[in-house]
Structure 1
Amino acid sequence: MAGKIHENLNISKAIFREIDADDPNAESTVIESLCMNCGENGITRIFLTKIPYYKDIMLMSFECEHCNYQNNEIQSAGKIEEKGIKIKLSINSKSDINRQVVKSDYTSICIPHLDFEIPSQSQKGEITTVEGIINRAIVGLQHDQDCRKQIDTKAAEQIEQFINKLHDLMNVDEPFIILLEDISGNTTVQNPKAPQKDEECEVHLFRRTMQQNHILGIYSENEDTILQSINEDEYTLEEIEGEIITFKTNCPECNAVCETNMKMTKIPYFKEVVIMATVCEICGHKTNEVKSGSGIEPEGIKIQITVNAKEDFSRDLLKSETCHMNIPELDLEIGPATLGGRFTTVEGIIISIKDQLASSTTLIGDTADSNIVKKMNNFITQLDKILHENKKITLILDDPAGNSYVQSLSDIGCDDKLKITKYTRTFEQNEELGLNDMKVENY
C-alpha cells in the first residue's frame, strides 16, 4: 500500500475494538500516513466491515492531497484459513463477468484460454469483479506501450494483439474459464444464486506445503510449542479421555493470548472425538470445534436421513470438518468450511445453517441488493417452517474422511429413515485430504 502506517499504531487491537463490523453506522478510523509517491503526509482511512456470505475484512483507502495520489487495499480481518483454496469459474455470459471477487495478496489468477497468469503477491488484495481483474491486466499491459512502440515494434504489436484478446474476453464472445488459487484461503467469488449451489463455480480446498506455510509466516516451531504445552505432563490416552485439558493459544479474531479447553470423549456406537472450545476474554470471541480422534477412515461415508417428525430433530449428529451437507428439497449445498466440525443434533445443525444465513444478509451500502435480500429472507422462512411445522426434508452428509455420524433410532443397525453408504474415495478427494502425498511405507 502507498501509505505506510506508522509503526507505533497497534491496528490489530486498538482500531478493531473501536469499529463494530455489525454496525452499519460505524465510522472509519483516520490516520496520517506517509505517501510513497511524493513523501508528504497523506490520509489513510481504515474501515472494518463484513462481506455478505464471506467474512470480516479491513478496507484501507489512502489519499494524498499534495500529489492527488490514491490507493485502495483490502486485507482479511480474521485468521489465515487452515487450507488453501482453488476456485474454477466458468464465464458464459455478461452476468458472469460482473461477479464480485474478493482476492488476497496471495491469490494467483490464470486464464488457460489465453495461457495468461497473474502470479501470487504481484497485486494487492482487493474487492473487484471478473471484469475488473481483466481490465486491470489490460491497463498494466498498456503501460509504456508508446515507448515500447519506439524501441521494440514487434513486441509492442504482440502485446497489442494480446490486449485485443483480453477485450474479447470482456465481451464474452465465447465461454472461458478463470482459475483462482489462494494459499491463505481468503479468496471468494460471488454466488448470484445464493444460498443455492453455484453450478458455474467449483471450489476445492487443499493442504498447504511447508514452503507455502513459510510464505504465510507459519512455521512448525509454533506448532511444536503448542504441542509441547499439551504434552508436558505426558498424558496417556486413558488419562486424557474424559479429562479437560487447557492450553494457551491465540485468538483468531484479535490475536490476543487466550485459553482453549480440549476434551476427548466417545460417541456411543461410533468413535472417539476431540471437542475444543476457545473463549477470548479480550474481545469476547468464542469458537467451538469437533475433530476426529482416530484419523481418516479407509472409506468415505454418505449418510441420508429423512426428517419429518419431532424425534428426527433430536437425533445426535456429528459433522466433521471435511463433511459436505445437502438438502435437495431446498436446493441447498453447504461446504465443509462453512460450519466446521460440530457435534449437535439434527435440529441444532439446521438452526446453525439458519443463523449463518441470517448473519450473512447484512448487506452494506452500495452492495445492497433488494432481490438477494428478499430471496435470502424467503429461504430463512423455509428453514423456520422445517423447524416449527415438521416439513419433510432429506438431509445428506457426504464425508470423504468417513468421520461423520447420525444417530440411529433402532437398537440394531439403521432405522427405516436412515441410510448409510460407504464408498471408495476419488483421487481428487484423496488429494483434498492430503493422502496422495502421504508416505507410510517402511516406517
Structure 2
Amino acid sequence: MALACEAAAGGSGPVFPDLGAADSGPTLIESLCMNCLQNGMTRLLLTKIPFFKEIIVSSFACENCGWVNNEIQSAGKIQEEGVRYTLFVSSKEDLNREVVKADCATTKIPELDFEIPPFTQKGALSTLEGLIDRAVAGLEQDQPTRKATDPDMASKIEEFIKKLMKLKDVEMSFTLVIDDPSGNSFVENPYAPQKDEALMITHYKRDALQDRMLGLQACTEEETPQNTVDDLRNEVLQFGTNCPQCNAPAETNMKLVQIPHFKEVIIMATNCEACGHRTNEVKSGGATEPLGTKITLRITDPSDMSRDLLKSETCSIFIPELEFELGMGILGGKFTTLEGLLTDVKELIVVKNPFFAGDSTVPERSEKLKEFGQKLDEIISGKREAHIILKDSAGNSYLQNLYAPDPDPEMKIEKYERTFEDNEELGLNDMKTEDYKEQKVDK
C-alpha cells in the first residue's frame, strides 16, 4: 500500500484524481494469492468519487487458479467530531433515503436489539433498504452450514431474518441509528433545505477509545508545545496536513487573533500547492461562556451584507422566512461577512449538494432547492427582507453592530440559560470544576 501511494504521489498532481480522469491509471503490484499461494497481480487505483470522498479501489486476479477479489476502501479524511444519525422510519418512502455508511460506523435497530459492529462491513453508498438487504445477505451467508451443525441456531437466525425483512414493509415504525466516530457517514434529508423532523443529527467529541480505534493518538504532555499566550499572538504556527480536496500533503497556518470588543479566536488557513484549493476556519480561543447567545438581525438594507460575522462551530443558523435551519458543526467556524455566510450556505445546500444533480436527482427536490437558492440571492441583493438568527449555546459567536457604541435598532442580542441537551452537546454535563479537590489514594 505504501509503495502504491508513493507511486501515485510521484507527480505534481493530486494524489486522488477525480473518477474518470484521463491520466488516472492503476498501479500494478505483485501479490500472494490466498487461494493457491501462488503470485498474482493486484491493480490499485486511488481515485475520488465526485461529491463523496477519496477511495482506494483494489482488484486482485490470479492466473494460476482464476481466483478474483475486488475491494473498495475509504481514504477520506477523519472529521474533527463524530456524528450520530437517528432516523425514525415511519413510511416506505424513508427506505429510499440515500445513506453513506463508513466502515467504522456502528449500525443499530433498537427495536430488534440488532447491531452491526464497526469494521465488520466495508463502507457503502446505498439506501436504507439496501442496508437491510445487506444485513440479511450477511446473516444468510453461513445458513447451510449452521443447519447441518447447529439446527437450533440456524432456526433462530432464520426467524430473525424474517423480522428484518418485515421492516421493509414498514408495518410498524422503527429506529435506525448510525454512529460514526470518523464523522464521514451521512443520511439524506429529503426535505432539504427545511429541517427533517424524523432525522436527528448529533455531533460529539470522540473519547480515547474511539481515537485508538481510528488509529489516532493524543498528544502526550511531553509533546505539548510550551509557548505562552503572548508568544502565540506574535507567531504564525505551521503544521503538516492533507488537502481536503485532493489529499495531497499541504501546510496549515494557524494564528491567535484578538477581535476588538469581543474575544480571542484562532484562525486556521490551508493552501494546497497541488490543486490550488484554499480553506480557512475559525475556532474560539476562549472558554465556554456561562450563558448561550442568540443574535437576531432583521435584514432591511444591502449594507447589512457587509457586517463582520464570527460563527463558531457550536452556532446554529435560522432563517424563519425560508423555514431554514442549519445545525451546529456543519459549516464549521468562520470569520466572514453576512454576505459570505449566506453565500456559503447556498453553496453547501444547492451547489455542492450531491443529490441536486446526477443520477440521484429527483425533479421535485431539484426544483425546491433551485427555488431556495433564488430566495437566498434575493436576500443577498436586498430585494427580500428576512431575519437571520445565530444561536450559539457556547456564546462564542458575534455579529457586528454598525451603530456602535449606540444600540443597533435592527439587531437583538439575547443571553439564555442552556438546557440539559445543550450542555450534553457541549460535553459540560460530565464536567465538574467547582469545589474540586485532589483525592489521595491509599496504597
Normalising TM by the smaller chain, what interval? 0.7 to 0.9
Once the two structures are superposed, what CA deviation does each residue of 1:315-346 show, in whole Å capped at 9, x if it has no partner? Answer: 22110011111112122221233221111221
Whether 2:304 is the aligned partner of 1:317: answer no
Match of residue 441 from structure 2: none
Alignment counterpart, residue 437 of structure 2, candidates 413, 427, 442? 442
Match of residue 335 from structure 2: 343
Give the C-alpha shift of residue 187 in structure 1.
0.7
Give the C-alpha shift of residue 439 in structure 1.
3.8
| One-letter amino acid of the structure 2 residue matched with residue 405 of structure 1 | Y
Whether 2:434 is the aligned partner of 1:430: answer no
Q: Where do 5+ consecutive residues of structure 1 fail to align?
A: none
Q: Please say if residues 100 and 128 of structure 1, whose CA atoms lie closer than 8 Å, have aligned partners that are also in contact.
A: yes
SS in 2 for 1:128: strand
Give the C-alpha shift of residue 212 in structure 1.
1.3
| One-letter amino acid of the structure 2 residue matched with residue 98 of structure 1 | N
Match of residue 239 from structure 2: 248
Deviates most, 411-420 or 184-193: 411-420
Shift in CA distance, 261/43, structure 1 to aligned 2, threshold 3 Å: closer
Shift in CA distance, 337/38, structure 1 to aligned 2, threshold 3 Å: farther
Give the C-alpha shift of residue 14 in structure 1.
5.1
Provide the rounded CA distance (Å) in 2 between the counterparts of 1:25 and 1:383: 34
SS in 1 for 2:164: helix
Provide the rounded CA distance (Å) in 1 between the counterparts of 2:345 and 2:228: 37
Give the C-alpha shift of residue 119 in structure 1.
0.6
Q: Please say if residues 102 and 188 of structure 1, whose CA atoms lie closer than 8 Å, have aligned partners that are also in contact.
A: yes
Whether 2:413 is the aligned partner of 1:416: answer no
Alignment counterpart, residue 57 of structure 1, candidates 43, 54, 59? 54
Match of residue 217 from structure 1: 215
Q: Please say if residues 236 and 255 of structure 2, whose CA atoms lie closer than 8 Å, have aligned partners that are also in contact.
A: yes
SS in 2 for 1:367: coil
Provide the rounded CA distance (Å) in 2 between the counterparts of 1:416 and 1:120: 53
Q: Please say if residues 27 and 47 of structure 1, whose CA atoms lie closer than 8 Å, have aligned partners that are also in contact.
A: no
Match of residue 102 from structure 2: 104
Whether 2:375 is the aligned partner of 1:382: answer yes
| One-letter amino acid of the structure 1 residue matched with residue 261 of structure 2 | Y
Q: CA RMSD in A?
A: 2.8
Match of residue 167 from structure 2: 169
Percent identity over the alignment is 38
Once the two structures are superposed, what CA deviation does each residue of 1:232-260 show, in whole Å capped at 9, x if it has no partner? Answer: xx4443x544x342322323433525241
Q: Please say if residues 74 and 127 of structure 1, whose CA atoms lie closer than 8 Å, have aligned partners that are also in contact.
A: no
Provide the rounded CA distance (Å) in 2 between the counterparts of 1:37 and 1:357: 48
Provide the rounded CA distance (Å) in 1 between the counterparts of 2:314 and 2:8: 30
Q: Where do 5+ consecutive residues of structure 2 fail to align?
A: 439-443
Give the C-alpha shift of residue 20 in structure 1.
4.4
Provide the rounded CA distance (Å) in 2 between the counterparts of 1:399 and 1:259: 27
Alignment counterpart, residue 194 of structure 1, candidates 192, 195, 210? 192
Deviates most, 6-15 or 374-383: 6-15
| One-letter amino acid of the structure 1 residue matched with residue 309 of structure 2 | L
SS in 2 for 1:378: helix
Matched pairs, number: 426
Q: Please say if residues 401 and 433 of structure 1, whose CA atoms lie closer than 8 Å, have aligned partners that are also in contact.
A: yes
Q: Please say if residues 350 and 373 of structure 2, whose CA atoms lie closer than 8 Å, have aligned partners that are also in contact.
A: yes
SS in 2 for 1:394: strand
Match of residue 401 from structure 1: 394
Provide the rounded CA distance (Å) in 2 between the counterparts of 1:259 and 1:433: 26
Shift in CA distance, 223/60, structure 1 to aligned 2, threshold 3 Å: farther
Give the C-alpha shift of residue 186 in structure 1.
0.8
TM-score by length of 2: 0.86
Provide the rounded CA distance (Å) in 2 between the counterparts of 1:338 and 1:214: 25
Q: Please say if residues 24 and 364 of structure 1, whose CA atoms lie closer than 8 Å, have aligned partners that are also in contact.
A: no
Provide the rounded CA distance (Å) in 2 between the counterparts of 1:279 and 1:6: 25
Provide the rounded CA distance (Å) in 2 between the counterparts of 1:224 and 1:284: 35
Provide the rounded CA distance (Å) in 2 between the counterparts of 1:194 and 1:257: 34
Match of residue 29 from structure 1: 25
Once the two structures are superposed, what CA deviation does each residue of 1:284-311 show, in whole Å capped at 9, x if it has no partner? Answer: 3322121222211111111111112123
| One-letter amino acid of the structure 1 residue matched with residue 242 of structure 2 | C
Provide the rounded CA distance (Å) in 2 between the counterparts of 1:364 and 1:43: 31
